Chains A and B, each alone.
Chain A
Amino acid sequence: NAGVTQTPKFQVLKTGQSMTLQCAQDMNHNSMYWYRQDPGMGLRLIYYSASEGTTDKGEVPNGYNVSRLNKREFSLRLESAAPSQTSVYFCASSEKGRGEKLFFGSGTQLSVL
């Protein structure tokens, strides 16, 4: 049971570089989410996808783009990384998205220098 798989686990970027964080779930879940977690800030929603083919902005979408490639995969792209994007990123999924448990990936520690 892989659950939610995120890659990479660690990444160091220079300011202005781009990268894509990958997320895949094998639970046939409809909804997928990207959160960032900073000290003292809790989990803040970046983008989410209620179902395949749809994406919506969360609380902190600026500087990010997402793609719901298919039902399994939901990627997060940083086009031009900034030091303010240094954070731990979590991908999550839920079966139906409303009122149901979130399953989290193991996280990506991203540092932007």
Chain B
Amino acid sequence: QKEVEQNSGPLSVPEGAIASLNCTYSDRVSQSFFWYRQYSGKSPELIMSIYSNGDKEDGRFTAQLNKASQYVSLLIRDSQPSDSATYLCAALGSGTYKYIFGTGTRLKVLA
């Protein structure tokens, strides 16, 4: 199993809907998780970080961490066409300074 895994998509949702992006991880990563957004041709930018079990909300974004099932989710409420991008899940490797990324999920929000 890869350390961090994501479905590559594309995930298509209508404007105004909730987009749900998922990421699973292995035992080889620590309990620090991050969601980055990357627009085509641009560099990644951090949206959310989450370190504790449960939900963390920031505006239209909610990150969810379930340590028992080893998955991290990002929910985007009231999705907008401007949310169309690739979303990268990342985790810190256990006992290291290495940030490990998933392959990313491409999100398309349809107007």
Which A residues between 71 and 113 are near B, CB-CB below 8 angstroms? Answer: 90, 92, 97-99, 101-102, 104-107
Q: Which of A11-19, A20-28, A37-45, A62-70 lies at the interface with chain B?
A: A37-45
| B residues neighboring A (CB under 8 Å) | 6, 8, 30, 32, 34, 36, 42-46, 49, 51, 88, 90, 92, 97-104
Candidates B88, B97, B100, B101; contact of A98 at CB < 8 Å: B97
- Say yes or no: B92 contacts A98, CB within 8 Å: yes
Given contacts A40-B8, A98-B32, A101-B49, contact A45 B98 (CB under 8 A): yes
* C-alpha gap A38/B90 in the complex (Å): 16
- Say yes or no: B97 contacts A50, CB within 8 Å: yes
Nearest A residue to B95, CB-CB: A98
- Say yes or no: B98 contacts A42, CB within 8 Å: no
- Say yes or no: B43 contacts A106, CB within 8 Å: yes
The residue among B8, B97, B98, B104 with the most chain A CB atoms within 10 A of its own CB is B97
* C-alpha gap A101/B101 in the complex (Å): 13
Interface size class of A (residues with CB under 8 A): 20 to 34
- Say yes or no: A101 contacts B98, CB within 8 Å: no
| Residues of chain A with a CB closer than 8 A to B88's CB | 42-43
Candidates B6, B97, B104; contact of A48 at CB < 8 Å: B97
| Residues of chain B with a CB closer than 8 A to A43's CB | 44, 88, 90, 101
| Residues of chain B with a CB closer than 8 A to A58's CB | 98
- Say yes or no: A97 contacts B101, CB within 8 Å: no
* C-alpha gap A10/B111 in the complex (Å): 34
Closest-CB distance, A39 to chain B (whole angstroms): 10
* C-alpha gap A95/B51 in the complex (Å): 17
| Residues of chain B with a CB closer than 8 A to A92's CB | 99
- Say yes or no: B45 contacts A45, CB within 8 Å: no
- Say yes or no: A107 contacts B97, CB within 8 Å: no
Nearest B residue to A38, CB-CB: B103
Candidates A56, A99, A105; contact of B51 at CB < 8 Å: A99
Question: What are the 10 closest A-B residue pairs judged by CB atoms, nearest first?
Answer: A42-B103, A104-B43, A43-B101, A99-B32, A97-B97, A50-B97, A42-B101, A101-B46, A42-B104, A104-B44
